[in-house]
Structure 1
Amino acid sequence: MKTDSQESMLNVNMARRSFLRYASVGVASVGLLATAASCHKDHKINPATNTIDLGAKGDVAILNYAYALEQLEAAFYLQVAATPYSGITSSETALLTDIRDHEVLHREFFKAALGASAIPALTPDFSSINFSDRASVLGAAAAFEDTGVTAYDGAGYLIDNAAYLLIAGKIVSVEARHAALIRNLITPGSFAGADVVDPTTSINKSATIADVLKIANTYLKTKVSAVNYGYKAS
């Protein structure tokens, strides 16, 4: 999926502009996350099932949940940038490139913050996506972005540390901007459709870890489970 040259280019960009500053969080926040990471959890992929579990209930498991989703989104947009779909416009290229950079930076933030407690790199499976077709790519992008927003909204109450919750709120607000943009690229004016924003409350819908992982695992060769939250990847 992503190539060495793509990652090298992105690493150069991140060297020029600190990904921590880009994500609008400070060094102090990273220190707080590192405290959680100090409780080392040796996450290993089960070779028999090619599955990794998020671990025991707590903030580290939830942060790894977010990290898993950011890995998936980053891998997807790296592929989109590497193999642009037929008829892509310069405006769409610029917008999707910006989203790619955001997702890579989100991924790298969680990886650095979790340290030794981070789950391993996951292997995506995008075989169901036709990267040469606009509708296929944008449809998948919408699924990733809408799922990402509902995932953060659904797991927020499980976060104990207020500092982590603040960081999650900053990231999900960016993900919501992505979701609105992608939806409008598909159908202008659909940025807050009733399928994502409850028309009676004007509040974005949320999803459980179980529901989100069912969707995410269809795009992952390395499956993610959360047995301590009542769900196991099939």
Structure 2
Amino acid sequence: MDEQMSVTHAFDARAKRREERRDFFKMLGGAAAVGSAAFVMAQSGEAQAQSGPTDADILNFALNLEYLEAQFYYFAAFGSGLPNSILTGTGAQGAVTGGRQVTFSDTLVAQYAREIAADERAHVEFLRTALGSAAVAQPAIDISASANGAFSAAARAAGLIGAGASFDPYASDENFLLGAFIFEDVGVTAYKGAAPLLSSKTFLEAAAGILAVEAYHAAIVRTTLYAKGIATPSAQLIQATDAISNARDSLDGTTDLDQGLSPLSSNPNASNIAPLDANGIAFSRSAGQTLNIVYLNNAQVNGGGFFPNGVNGTIRASAAN
């Protein structure tokens, strides 16, 4: 009897999830209505009484990160950025500094770049549709290869280049992968940290879906870097990921939330493609910690690094570390 009840509950739950998915896609058909509802919710007394951010706040925070990733991958894969039609919204719309197509020598890396670029653009469009009129505009983004740019600052912080030197993520397959490595692990931890804050189960399911895709992307980048590092040890690619990981950890607080590709001391004979805790669970970052990394600053600030003027929306400040 108990087993029959469990099966019944399972089917009821599955039916409910399907209903929620159908409702969600109906909502997407009326983008403006969804956005207006999210905006009204954010302004209502009920939302103001909440101690945390609204769902609209969280989705807009994610949208800022998706703009950054999508622009980097789109330039690297196709030589141009996203169309302006999907960059407008609330807040100050900013331009993209830098970005160019990579002349890939490895066909597989080129294919990965095109696939990830298309996925990231889809994330931008999905979140914008879900938010409707409440969607934030793309803020100013720096993905340049200049010595004073964000990529060079990140590489310098990791000790990969010296003072005054530049890091060009578009110069080679390997540099592209290291540039991607800077973003992908951060995206995974950011979505995991934000997901529990969502009150709507429908939005939570959507965020979980994007998190899964970001994890796939991170695994592609990490696996490819690891394979190339093993094949050509002199390139020091594995060591470079460790250095980038340490730099990220120096920005987001005292807790070790990051791992490069070097095998862990607890399992020195294994690769370290998936960066997990002792329970085999991915790490989480708060919005503030995520902004520490993309702003390239361990202090509480409202802009810098890859977002020179900060992100758009209500979640803007990095954490004080």
Fold-level similarity (TM above 0.5): yes
Deviates more, 1:188-197 or 1:149-158: 188-197
| Aligned counterpart, 2:191 | 152
Query: CA offsets, 1:86-117, max 9 Å, x none?
Result: 55211111111000000001011111221111
Q: Please, which moves more after superposition, 158-167 or 208-217? A: 208-217
In structure 2, the partner of 1:61 is: 57
Q: CA deviation at 1:138?
A: 1.1
**Equivalent position of 2:309 in the other structure:** 222
The equivalent residue for 2:4 is none
The equivalences for 1:18-29 within 5 A come to 27-28=25-26
SS at match of 2:171: coil
Match for 2:272 among 187, 193, 215?
193
Q: 1:210 to 1:32 in 2, by over 3 A?
A: farther
Q: Aligned to 1:96, which of 113, 136, 152?
A: 113
Q: 1:70: Cα distance to partner?
A: 0.6
> Do the aligned residues in 1 keep the contact of 2:189 with 2:284 (CA within 8 Å)?
yes
Farther-moved stretch of structure 1 (30-39 vs 105-114): 30-39
Any conservation in 2 of the 1:85–1:132 contact (CA below 8 Å)? yes
TM-score by length of 1: 0.72
Kindly report structure 1 stretches of 4+ aligned residues shifted beyond 6 Å. 225-230
Quick one: distance in 2 between partners of 1:221 and 1:230?
13
Cα deviation 1:33-80 (Å, max 9, x = unaligned): 853543438xxxxxxxxxxxxxx8210000001111111100010111
Task: Give the Cα–Cα distance (whole angstroms) in 2 for the partners of residues 230 and 84 of structure 1.
Answer: 32
Q: Deviations over 1:171-200 (max 9, x none)?
A: 1101100000001111139597388211x2
Contact conserved, 1:213 with 1:225, CA < 8 A, in 2? Answer: no
Q: Percent identity?
A: 29
Structure 1 residue 230: Cα displacement: 6.9
d(CA) in 1 for partners of 2:107 and 2:182? 23
Structure 2 unaligned segments of length 5 or more: list them: 1-20, 41-51, 80-99, 145-150, 152-166, 231-260, 263-270, 296-304
Cross-structure match for 1:109: 126
Distance verdict in 2 for CA 1:229–1:57, change over 3 Å? farther
Superposition RMSD on alpha carbons, in Å? 3.1
Q: Tell me how far apart the structure 2 counterparts of residues 134 and 230 of structure 1 sit (CA, whole Å).
A: 33
Q: Residues 232, 204 of structure 1: CA spacing in aligned structure 2 closer, same or farther, 3 A cutoff?
A: closer
Q: Does 1:207 align with 2:285?
A: yes
Task: Give me the TM-score of the superposition, normalised by structure 2.
Answer: 0.54
Question: How far 1:216 sits from its partner (Å)?
Answer: 2.0
User: Which blocks of at least 5 consecutive residues in structure 1 are unaligned?
Assistant: 1-23, 42-55
- SS of the equivalent of 2:311 reads strand
Q: Distance in 1 between matches of 2:36 and 2:291?
A: 23
Q: Secondary structure at the match of 1:219?
A: coil
Alpha-carbon spacing, 1:99–1:132, altered in 2? closer, same or farther (3 Å): same
Q: Relative to structure 2, which stretch is displaced further, 221-230 or 114-123?
A: 221-230
Q: More relative contact order in 1 or in 2 (CA 8 Å, sep 6+)?
A: 1
**Partner Cα distance (1:151, 1:221) in 2:** 20
| In the alignment, structure 1 residue 162 sits paired with structure 2 residue 160 | no
Are 2:60 and 2:313, in contact at CA under 8 Å, matched by a contact in 1?
no
Q: Are the aligned partners of 2:61 and 2:315 in contact in 1 as well (CA < 8 Å)?
A: no
1:36, 1:59 within 8 Å by CA — same for their partners in 2? Answer: no
CA 1:166–1:119 in 2, change beyond 3 Å: closer, same or farther? same
Match of 2:253? none
Code of the residue aligned with 1:122 in structure 2: it is P
2:136 alignment counterpart: 119
Q: Kindly provide the CA deviation profile for residues 128-186 of structure 1, in whole angstroms up to 9, marking residues without a partner as x.
A: 25111333321120121100000000111110111100000011101100000001111
In structure 1, the residue matched to 2:213 is: 174
Cα separation, 2, equivalents of 1:203 and 1:118? 31
